[in-house]
Structure 1
């Protein structure tokens, strides 16, 4: 009920933002080449994902691939007018139908950042915690676990997983291989276990990045050069590891526009998040960065 009320209020606020012309002003700036819209999803419904693509196309935007972003950053091609890049984090099972198939239908490039352990074992760690919370099993919350040193978090998760079972929630390896064969899908790395990297010890953090890259390259027979930080958390240490491991770019969860200036920090690229259950009006305001200007961190 609380989430329903929140979404109704957000829809009304977003409608007012659109009515006041705020999104129109952003669109005007983007279409003249002031910035690129950098947008990411997790596990969107197909209706929402397709709506976002259609809205962007209708309003004159064109879609950029990861290769395009690197070429723009390297000044190999001009900074675009009306550019937008779409990325998706984690590699959820629903992505096959709701992201990959729709991207192929509209011939739109999308990069999916994969957490490799979930592809192998079927699930990410936080749904186990959410289920334990639902069953009132007395374990720490997701937020509490995110604040712990990684080794402590892993110990608690091991206990939770002995008491909680889940149906598969991540793409299978077969589905991942099929997606990687699409001309419109690029696969990037998102660590092995999806930890908070800044809570990891040096060797843990390094191996989370390296082994995810190695595994994807082995599975798909491709080179992986793009990365997304789990939860958006990173430090100078993680950037240095990415450079050592031959990554060319990395994406944060910093809600901002992708400008000529921000492209100079190729391992700290910003993105606007579109959450799963938002209204179409809120999605428009989030894609254009209007929502984040007024409600930072939400």
Structure 2
């Protein structure tokens, strides 16, 4: 009920923003080449993901791949007018139907940033914790565990997994390989276990990045050039590791426009998030950065 009321209120506010012409202002700036819209999802409903694509197409935007972003950053190609980048984090099972199939239908490039352990074993760590919370087993919450040193978090998760069983929620390796064969899908790295990297010791953080890259490259027989920080958390250490491991770009969860200036920091690229279940007006406001302008952190 609380979430339903929140979405109704957000829809009304978003409709007001659109009526006031705020989305038109952003569109005008993007189409003249002031910035690129950098947008990411996790496990969107198919109808919402397709709506976003259709709205962007209808309003004159054209879609860029992560390779395009690197080429623009290197001045190999000029900064575009009306450019938009779509990325999806984690690699959820629903992505096959609700993202990959729709991207192919509309012929738009999408980068999937996947956590390799979930692909191999079926699930990410936080759904186990959510289930344990639902069953009132007395374990720390997801938010609490995100603040723990990684080794301590892993010890608790090991205990949780002995008590909680889940059905597969991540793409299988077979599905991932099929997706990678699409002309419109690029696979990027998102660590092995999806830890908060800044809570990891040096060796842990390095191996999380290195082994995820190597695993994907061995699975797909292709080079992995892009990375997304789990939870958006990173430091100078993680940037240095990415450079050492020959990554070409990395994406944060900082909600901002991708300008020429921001492209100079190729390992700190911003993105606007579209959450599951939001209304169409809110999706428009989030894609264009209007929502984040007024409601930072939400």
Scaled by the length of structure 2, the TM-score of the pair is 1.00
Corresponding residue for residue 101 of structure 1? 101
Corresponding residue for residue 24 of structure 1? 24
Corresponding residue for residue 278 of structure 1? 278
Corresponding residue for residue 173 of structure 1? 173
Shift of 1:38: 0.1
Instruction: Report the Cα distance in structure 2 between the residues aligned to 1:133 and 1:278, rounded to whole angstroms.
Output: 24
Shift of 1:139: 0.4
Partner deviation per Cα, 1:101-131 (whole Å, 9 max, x = no partner): 0000000000000100000000000000000
Shift of 1:265: 0.1
Instruction: Report the Cα distance in structure 1 between the residues aligned to 2:223 and 2:2, rounded to whole angstroms.
Output: 44
Shift of 1:225: 0.7
Corresponding residue for residue 71 of structure 1? 71
Does 2:117 align with 1:117? Answer: yes
Corresponding residue for residue 234 of structure 1? 234
Instruction: Report the Cα distance in structure 1 between the residues aligned to 2:233 and 2:68, rounded to whole angstroms.
Output: 25
Corresponding residue for residue 91 of structure 2? 91
Does 2:43 align with 1:43? Answer: yes
Instruction: Report the Cα distance in structure 1 between the residues aligned to 2:80 and 2:287, rounded to whole angstroms.
Output: 17
Instruction: Report the Cα distance in structure 2 between the residues aligned to 1:297 and 1:88, rounded to whole angstroms.
Output: 19
Which aligned runs of 4 or more in structure 1 are off by greater than 4 angstroms?
Answer: none
Corresponding residue for residue 213 of structure 2? 213
Give the SS at the match of 2:39.
strand
How do 1:147-166 residues align onto structure 2 when only pairs under 5 Å count?
Answer: 147-166=147-166
Unaligned runs of 5+ in 1: none
Shift of 1:244: 0.2
Query: How many residues are matched?
Result: 298
Instruction: Report the Cα distance in structure 1 between the residues aligned to 2:225 and 2:177, rounded to whole angstroms.
Output: 17
Instruction: Report the Cα distance in structure 2 between the residues aligned to 1:159 and 1:262, rounded to whole angstroms.
Output: 42
Corresponding residue for residue 223 of structure 1? 223
Corresponding residue for residue 137 of structure 2? 137
Partner deviation per Cα, 1:151-207 (whole Å, 9 max, x = no partner): 000000000000000000000000000000000000000000000000000000000
Give the SS at the match of 1:108.
coil
Instruction: Report the Cα distance in structure 2 between the residues aligned to 1:93 and 1:71, rounded to whole angstroms.
Output: 31
Instruction: Report the Cα distance in structure 2 between the residues aligned to 1:93 and 1:58, rounded to whole angstroms.
Output: 29
Shift of 1:67: 1.1
Instruction: Report the Cα distance in structure 2 between the residues aligned to 1:211 and 1:70, rounded to whole angstroms.
Output: 23
Give the SS at the match of 1:217.
helix
Shift of 1:92: 0.2
